[in-house]
Amino acid sequence: SSPWRWYVVQSRQVLDYYYEYTECDSTGSRWRVAIPQSPGACTGLPEPVRGTECTFSCKAGEFLEMSAQECTQCAAGSYSLGSGIRFDQWDSMPAGFSSLATSLENGPHGADRIACNSSSWVPQGNYLESNRDECTVSLIYAVHLKKQGFVSFEYQYLDNNLLFEFFIQNDQCQEMDQFADAKWLKLTNHGEWATHTVNLKSGTNILYWRTGGVLMGTKVVKPVLLKNIQIEGVAYTSECFPCKPGMFSRAPGSSMCEPCPRDTYSGHGASSCTPCNTTSQYAAEASAVCKDRPPCSKKDYFQIHTACDHEGKTQVIYKWIEPKICLEGVPGAETFPPSGEREPCPPCNPGFYNNDMATCSPCPPGTFSDGMKPCKQCPAGTEPTLGYEFKWWNILPANMKTSCFNVGNSKCDSMNGWEMAGDHIQSGAGSSDNDYLILNIHIPGFKLPTSVSSRSGTEFGRITFEFETLCTADCELYFMMDVNRKSTTVVESWERTKARQSYMHIMTKNASVSYTWAFQRTNQPSDVRHYVNDVARIYSISVSNAVDGVSSGCRACALSTQPSSSTCVPCPPGHYIDTHTSQCTECPRNTRLVSHTSPGPEACRPCGPGSRSDKDHSLCYSDCHFTHTSGNVTLTFDFSLLGSVGTLMNGPSFTSKGTKYFHQFNISLCGGQQLAVCTDNVTDLSITDTQTEKGEGANSVKSFICQSTVIPASGRGFHTALSSQSINLANTFLGATVENTLDGIRARPELYPWTSKKVPDINFYYRSLEATSSCESGRSAVVTLRCDPEKSTKGELAVPSQCPAATCDGCTFHFLWESSGACPTCTEKDYHQIEGVCKGGHQDLLYVWTEPKLCMGGVTLPEKKTLPCEGMELWVRLGAGLGAFTAVLLVSLTCYFWKKNKRLEYKYSRLVMSANKECEMPGADSCAVMEGENEGDMEDEIVYTKPSLLGKLKAIASKKYENVQLNSSHSKALVWS
């Protein structure tokens, strides 16, 4: 029932049995029984006796003495929570805790699977440390509660590359009901510990602390730290817990142990602390032993600039790092350097003035100063600019704080945070090398200048700082922000030595924000200082439009239209200030207003090709319409068919250790109405669904193009697919064009080979204004739209095969969107007419698309038309009749001429024969009538009548043939006609 057993002790000898209670029955009763130490040894055991009531419990500082079944005070040097238990000592894994690792079985090849047997939660004395690799490791503890209770623990969770969840199961391995925001743990500030509490039901509760993630680089992952686990609801504890080394409880009946003061120590279960020999030894708070003091070195002191005195002088002085643990005047000890000479103080920071040569005071409202001159009123037609500009570091500004957090313990001395150094502020020594040195500035909100206060969708402020790091170890400088005190997120970080450079971050909403710089010399556990000379320096910090800021200058504003008025008035959205008239003037069409630029027409930046501005001139976007003209051909495109937001999940991809993950990209092609949103469903579960859709979560990203890393549920031990590490790829639309370059961004068409050039590819160009450590000009993206009539209107998104992560250099991302919706709008030139046959006096006209069809939408095919037409049957019959008549006529004439020719041939032969007879000549009176011919025949030949058409043809033929025949036979023959 209880994880603790009460052992029977007699004459300092542990007997072979211990006492436990049985389960409570329906009447609320239970029995105390003796349980043998060795299974099966059931002889000589005391008889069961009736136990205390099931509702019985002991107070804090007491335990249930099972022999007498009475609550007894804990002795000095121990403590008890009464009905709870606490685990605060992690020199070794406490009894009942187990660490279970899950092998990565989702690698691309079975041979690449990683054995995770060596991955576990590791005790580190004051805390428990999770694994740093990609294995999923669970810390498990089972407890049986007699009544409802809770579990509470402190944790440190800094790196969202690891996923950290806490959940509870019952004895049937079923996950207990739990609010979503209680399952996934939120990130903590660097060096700070957060407390998490979850209610528990009576009965068996199995507690799981589980880590796992995707490590996609060589960067060292920061582990999750866990300490001070407390569970309430066990009804009683059968023994008291001894105080751990470094802690003590001086009085009996204590509910907790106290830490030993500095320079004292204690052992296990101590009721008091023992002083160290402070002349040669020292001990930090809650120490288990005293340590020998080392000789003093340069690592044990630091320099600061004193505050300006009334003479306007300052000097460099040196101070020992507190607590001082070194010895002076021993061999090898470093001599403490003397203070520097007094020198003139640096000027005040802009917006402040020096009124008494000792302190810098902020200028009164409505006045400004550059820090070196007295405050002055702004001229007419201008107003003071609000903000902060720190470039001189003599004393820490009032709205800034510095501190030091030790990884394993609590806050270290504030003097070991950041130090003033005149023209810069630098990281201090800290108490160990892996401490976080914190510098923080809080801005309660932002206030835009009067004339631009009504603009919507503009930036509200920006923070710019100049820094450098000098390191010999694996140091890292973090820049973080906490909006509205929800959760601290890392904006950017820099590892190892970095040359002096500037970084700028833009605030896109008006909110309370805390900016934090955290410097850690090494990520490895350390109790000493080896790298104290590794340093981070910040030379200047500038915050614009801070609501509680001071004024370092004046800004032109728009004046009221009333005569001789000097009152500044707000300009409507999309208006700039005309410097000549001091009036609000609307930006030209298709330009966007850049708020942080100087007043004048130059504040209106023209939108790129293929884009337009919204009515407030706050951003440029594509309205999903595009026109391209080449020669005398104009193509019009309507991309609204592609939908508002396109989604692509590429992969799967695998890390160097074999973990599977996907990259999910959300793309808003026409971002005038709806932008793409990427949300971490791990650390943002406490954000409402409405806030998630609007992209208002602490780890939500809302832009034209964003990316999330998705970890599948299979093989990872998690119950659902997880989305994390959301980043902004593009928040500015530059334009759309068929050209391959725009504003220094290249589309690289060779990444997507294409044979057909009938419809050109259209490239949408985007850029992110947020600079990163690897992309100084920010990330950029190109979305190539390609007409493919075989695809659906939604189409398919793809990334280059050479760059499966969509980018080949980490800064420029390339996407291909193939769709029939990317084809041009159909026109009359995209179809042609087909004429049908004339049938029954009617003819059909059909219209069909020209193949291949490379258009979408636009005009539709005209309806089929039916037209009247003249039939061809009559003319065919008439032609056939004329043809038949002509054929008969020709046959008749042929036969006639053939017969006639036979006759002429006969006559001719007779003449030839008679002409060849010697001395014979035909008689004159015969007129060449040959023998055998009838006169009737001759008469027929010579009788003249008026010829018909047929007769004329016969006559012409006869005349011709006779003339020819006679003339050719005999030159003197008689010819008639």
Query: Helix or strand or coil: residue 789?
Result: coil
User: Going by DSSP bridges, is the β-strand pair 812-819/780-787 parallel, antiparallel, or unpaired?
Assistant: parallel
Average pLDDT over residues 217-232: 82
The neighbour count for residue 933, using CB atoms within 10 Å, is: 14
Query: Taking the domain 625-680+700-821, which CATH number applies?
Result: 2.70.130.10
Contact 182, 198 (CB under 8 A): yes
pLDDT at residue 947, rounded to an integer: 54
Instruction: Report whether pLDDT(915) > 50.
Output: yes
Q: How confident is the model at residue 844 (pLDDT cuts 50, 70, 90)?
A: confident
The per-residue pLDDT for 3 is 40
pLDDT tens digit string along 917-956?
Answer: 554 554 444 444 444 444 444 444 444 445 555 555 555 5
pLDDT for the residue 961: 43
- Average per-residue pLDDT for the chain: 80
pLDDT in tens, 546-579: 999 999 998 888 888 777 677 888 888 888 888 8
CB 6 within 8 A of CB 51: no
Domain assignments of the chain as residue spans, ordered by start: 84-104+119-234, 625-680+700-821, 831-868
Highest-pLDDT range among 32-46, 466-480, 487-501, 512-526:
466-480
Query: Which residues are CB-neighbours of 338 under 8 A, at least 6 positions away?
Result: none
SS3 of 108, please?
A: coil
**pLDDT of 719 over the 70 cut:** no
pLDDT for the residue numbered 917: 56
pLDDT for the residue 657: 63
Across the range 618-629, mean pLDDT stands at 89
Highest-pLDDT range among 44-58, 166-180, 193-207: 193-207
CA angle, 228 as apex, 223 and 233 as ends, to 5°?
A: 130
Is the pLDDT at 267 greater than 50, yes or no?
A: yes
pTM of the full structure: 0.72
Q: Is the pLDDT of residue 505 over 80?
A: yes
Query: Strand runs (DSSP E) across 88-224, as ranges?
Result: 97-102, 122-123, 128-129, 136-145, 149-156, 162-169, 194-200, 203-213
Buried/exposed code over 335-355 (b: 16+ C-beta within 10 A; e: otherwise): eeeeeeeeeebbbbbbbbbbe
Most confident of 162-166, 265-269, 430-434, 643-647: 265-269
Q: Is the pLDDT of residue 532 over 60?
A: yes
Average pLDDT over residues 504-517: 89
pLDDT at 485: 77
Phi, psi (rounded to 5 degrees) for 9: -110, 130
- Is the bond preceding residue 259 a cis peptide, omega within 30 degrees? no
Does 58 score more than 60 pLDDT? yes
Confidence of residue 217 (pLDDT cuts 50, 70, 90): low
Looking at the predicted structure, is the pLDDT value of residue 794 above 60?
yes
> 84-104+119-234: which CATH topology?
Jelly Rolls (2.60.120)
Whether pLDDT at 906 is above 80:
yes
Dump pLDDT digits (tens) for 374-423: 899 988 888 888 999 999 988 888 889 988 877 665 556 545 689 888 88
How much is the average pLDDT of 349-374? 86
Higher per-residue pLDDT: 645 or 840: 645
Q: Which helix (H) or strand (E) holds 892?
A: helix 873-915
Has residue 527 got a pLDDT over 90?
Answer: no
Radius of gyration of the chain (CA): 51
